Structure 1
Amino acid sequence: MSRLLLLPLIALSAVLLSQFDSFASLGLSALPLAIILGMLAGHLFTADGTDLDHSVTRFCQKNCLRIGIILFGLNLSFQQIAGVGLETLLLNIIVICAVIGSGLWLGIRILKLPVDTAILISAGSAICGAAAILATDSAIKARQQQVTIAVATVVLFGTLAMFAYPVIFPHSLMSEQAFGIYIGSTVHEVAQAVAAGESISAQALNNAVVTKLIRVMLLAPFILILCTYMARQSKSDEKVNLIAVMPWFIFGFIFMAGLNSVFTLPEFILQSASYLSQYLLALAMAALGTQTRLALIKEAGIRPIIMALSLFVLLLVGGLFLNLLIV
C-alpha cells in the first residue's frame, strides 16, 4: 500500500482508537498508538517502496512533526514557559554532558565501537534522537551504515522509554508538572516526549514539550563545539554552518506561544489547532514506526545495542535522581 494512503490512515486510526476507554485506561493515547500501528505496518508491508513512498515518509517525519510542534505552541504561554525555570536549562545541560561523556567512554573504551558510531549514538540519546544523529553526521561524515545503526538503536530505546514513563509515574513521588520536566529532559525524540507527556496529563505534556525543546535548542552549541573540535583535529579551516543545524521550527513554537500570551484567541481556533497538531504528530509517529525494523536492529550487532541500552538506563534512572535533586 502506498505510504500516501497508509500513513494518514494509521494516524486517523490512532486518533479514533484513542477515544475508546479501553485504550485510554492503558495510557495509550493517539501518539503511542500511532507508532505501534506504524511498526506493525512496517513489518507487514516489507517492500522497499517507491520514491514517492520515501518522500512521503520523510515529509511526515520532518515537516509534519515540525508543523505539529509549532501549532502546539498555541497550547502554551510565556507565563508557563517561565514557570519551568532556569533550573530546567541547567538540568538539560547536565543531562547532555553526562550522557555524551558516558556514551563515549562506554562505546570507545569498553565496547570498542568505531568512534563515529559511539558519537552518533551518544548524541542521539543525549539531545534529540534521529535529528541529532543526522546533524552530528554532517560534522563527522560517518559511513551510512553507522548512521543507520545509530538511528535504529536510538529509535528502539526511545520508543521503549516513551512507554516506560506512564509505568514509572505512579511510583516516582513527583507531581505531574515535575514529571513532565523529567520526561522532557530524558526522552530521546520530540514526538516521544509529546506522546509520553500526553499519557500522563495536560500539565505533564506542557512541561515535557517546553523542557524537551530547550534541550533541542542545545543541539546547535553541541554541533558548534563538535565541528570546532573536528576542524582542529583535521587542521581544517572549514567554518561551521550554524544555519544548517539550527532547529528553526522552535522559533515557530515560541511565536505561537507568544501569540497566545498576548492575545485572547477564539476557542474554536485553539481547539482546531489542537486537533490538527495531534493529527500531524500522529502522522510523524506513524512514519517513525514504519522505519523501525527488527531486522535492522539485528544487523547492528550486540555492541551498539548494549551501548544504547546503557544510555537508556542512565537517562531513566540517573535522570530521575537529577530531576529530584534539581527540580
Structure 2
Amino acid sequence: MSSAPAPHQPSRFQSQFAQLLPGLLLSGAVAGSALWLDTQGWLSSFGLSSLTLAIVLGILVGNTFYTRLAPTAQPGVTFSKGALLRLGIILYGLRLTIQQILGVGLGGLLADLLMLSSTFFLAFWLGTRWLRLDAQTAILIGAGSSICGAAAVMATEPIVKAQAEKVAVAVATVVIFGTIGIFLYPQMDAWHWWPFSGLHFGVYIGSTVHEVAQVVAAGRAISPQVADAAVTVKLLRVILLAPFLMLLSYFWGRSEPRRTDQRGAQKGSAEKVKLSIPWFAFAFIGVALFNSLHLLPVRLLHNLITLDTLLLSMAMAALGLTTHFGAIRQAGAKPLLLGAVLMVWLVGAGGLVQGFLMSVGL
C-alpha cells in the first residue's frame, strides 16, 4: 500500500509574508486614506502632505481600535516603519537631480548649509542643555526643523533608535511650526520685512521652511518665480540629508559608550561599539545621481515617485499606529518650546543670511 502524500508545507517566505500581511494591509489602508485626502483642495491649501495626514490618521486609529488588531498586525506595522521607510528614503532620490543643485547657484547652497548646520546644533544644545530633553528627541526635532520635516525625522530615527512616541512628538512639532510658516512668509513679503524679494525671497523660503509641501504652499502664495526658486533650494536641502545622516551615524556611534556608562550599563570600549552605517543614505545619493542622467521614461519615473509616496505614507501611518496619546502628553511642553525657538531662529537668522548673501552678490 502506498502512503498518503504529505500535506503541502508553506515555505519560510510564505509564512513570513502571512505574518506581515495584516499589518501591511492596515498601514496601506491608512496611507491610502491619507493619499486620498491629500488630493482634496481644501487640505492642500494648508500645505498638509500625505505624510502628515498619514501620521495623524495613524494616531487616531492607534488610539482607538488598533489595540484589538495589534496581536496580528504588529509584525507588518513594524516592517512598514522599518524596511519600507528605508526603501522610501532611497526612492526619494528620484525627485532630485544634480541639475537642480546647479540651478540655484552658490548662494542657495550656502544658505542651505548655514541654516541646516546652525539650526541643528542650536536644537541639540538648547534641547539637551537648556530644556533638559533627551538627546534623541532633540536630534529628531533638530533634523526635522533644519532639513525636510517629517521625512528627515523618519530618516534619522533608525540611527538614534528612538521610540515611536519620540518620533511622533518630533513630527508633530515640525508640522505645527512649518504650517505656521505657510501663512507667515507671504505676509512678510507683503509687509516688506526684508530688503529682498523675488528669487531671493524664494531662496529664503526654501532654506528655512520645514516641509517640501509647506515650501510649495508658501511660495505659490507669493508668485510662481518665488515658488520655483523655493522648491529648488528646498530639494537641495533634501539632498543634504544624506551626508547629515552619515555624520550623525558616526558621532552617535562614537558617543554610545559614554551613554551606556551614564546609564550604569557599560558594555565595552569604544572599539567594541558597532557603528550604525546608514546604507540607505548612500543608496539615496546613488538614486539621485542616476536620476540626473534622465534615463528613465517619464511615465516610469512618475510611477516610481507615486510608489515612493505610498511607501513613505505607509511608514508614517505605521508610526502613528504605534504612538499613544499618553506618551505624547508625557513629553510635555518642552518639545513645542524648542520648536518655537527654532522657528524664530529660522525666520530671523535665515533672513539675515539671505540679506548678507545678496549684498555680496550671491
Class of the TM-score when normalised by the shorter of the 2 chains: 0.7 to 0.9
**How many corresponding residue pairs?**
307
Cα deviation, 1:246-286, whole Å, max 9, x if unaligned, reads: 2x333333333333332443232122223222222322332
Alignment of 1:315-326 (within 5 A): 315=346, 317-319=348-350, 321-323=352-354, 325-326=356-357
- Amino acid paired to 1:289: G
- Amino acid paired to 1:63: A
C-alpha distance in structure 2 between counterparts of 1:50 and 1:220, whole Å: 34
Q: Tell me if the contact between 1:35 and 1:289 (Cα under 8 Å) persists in the aligned partners.
A: yes
Q: Tell me if the contact between 2:86 and 2:155 (Cα under 8 Å) persists in the aligned partners.
A: no
Cα deviation, 1:54-75, whole Å, max 9, x if unaligned, reads: 3333333343333334334334
Counterpart in the other structure of 1:218: 244
Name the SS for the 1:129 alignment partner: helix
Alignment of 1:195-210 (within 5 A): 195-197=213-215, 199=217, 203=228, 204-205=230-231, 207-210=233-236
Tell me the CA shift for residue 154 of structure 1. 1.4
Summarize the Cα distance change of 1:218–1:283 in structure 2 as closer, same or farther, 3 Å threshold.
Answer: same
Alignment of 1:239-254 (within 5 A): 241-242=274-275, 244-246=276-278, 248-254=279-285
Using the TM superposition, name which of 22-31 and 281-290 deviates more. 22-31
C-alpha distance in structure 2 between counterparts of 1:34 and 1:149, whole Å: 15
TM-score (norm 1): 0.72
Name the SS for the 2:299 alignment partner: helix
Alignment of 1:243-322 (within 5 A): 244-246=276-278, 248-315=279-346, 317-319=348-350, 321-322=352-353
C-alpha distance in structure 2 between counterparts of 1:194 and 1:89, whole Å: 17
Alignment of 1:97-108 (within 5 A): 97-103=117-123, 105-108=125-128
Using the TM superposition, name which of 77-86 and 304-313 deviates more. 304-313
Name the SS for the 2:296 alignment partner: coil
Cα deviation, 1:152-187, whole Å, max 9, x if unaligned, reads: 431220221343343234235465896477456663
Query: Which one of the candidate residues 33, 43, 53 is aligned to 1:33?
Result: 53
Is residue 60 of structure 2 the alignment partner of residue 44 of structure 1? no
Summarize the Cα distance change of 1:16–1:227 in structure 2 as closer, same or farther, 3 Å threshold.
Answer: closer
Counterpart in the other structure of 2:87: 67
Query: Which one of the candidate residues 76, 100, 116 is aligned to 1:80?
Result: 100
Query: Which one of the candidate residues 176, 180, 184 is aligned to 1:168?
Result: 184
Summarize the Cα distance change of 1:288–1:176 in structure 2 as closer, same or farther, 3 Å threshold.
Answer: farther
- The answer for unaligned runs of 5 or more in structure 1 is 138-143, 188-192
Q: Tell me if the contact between 1:31 and 1:195 (Cα under 8 Å) persists in the aligned partners.
A: no
Tell me the CA shift for residue 321 of structure 1. 4.4
Cα deviation, 1:112-136, whole Å, max 9, x if unaligned, reads: x2xxx44323322223435435524
Choose 1 or 2 for highest CA Rg. 2
Summarize the Cα distance change of 1:72–1:313 in structure 2 as closer, same or farther, 3 Å threshold.
Answer: same
Cα deviation, 1:206-250, whole Å, max 9, x if unaligned, reads: 5423312303422322443455466689794426655x232x333
C-alpha distance in structure 2 between counterparts of 1:267 and 1:236, whole Å: 51
Cα deviation, 1:53-105, whole Å, max 9, x if unaligned, reads: 33333333343333334334334322113334455554455445434543455
C-alpha distance in structure 2 between counterparts of 1:321 and 1:226, whole Å: 31
Counterpart in the other structure of 2:170: 154
- Amino acid paired to 1:255: G
Name the SS for the 2:67 alignment partner: coil
Alignment of 1:5-20 (within 5 A): 5-20=25-40
Name the SS for the 2:288 alignment partner: helix
Cα-Cα RMSD: 3.9
Counterpart in the other structure of 1:190: none
Counterpart in the other structure of 1:140: none
- Amino acid paired to 2:156: A
Summarize the Cα distance change of 1:170–1:60 in structure 2 as closer, same or farther, 3 Å threshold.
Answer: farther
C-alpha distance in structure 2 between counterparts of 1:323 and 1:76, whole Å: 23
Summarize the Cα distance change of 1:75–1:215 in structure 2 as closer, same or farther, 3 Å threshold.
Answer: closer
- The percentage of aligned residue pairs carrying the same residue is 29
C-alpha distance in structure 2 between counterparts of 1:7 and 1:226, whole Å: 30
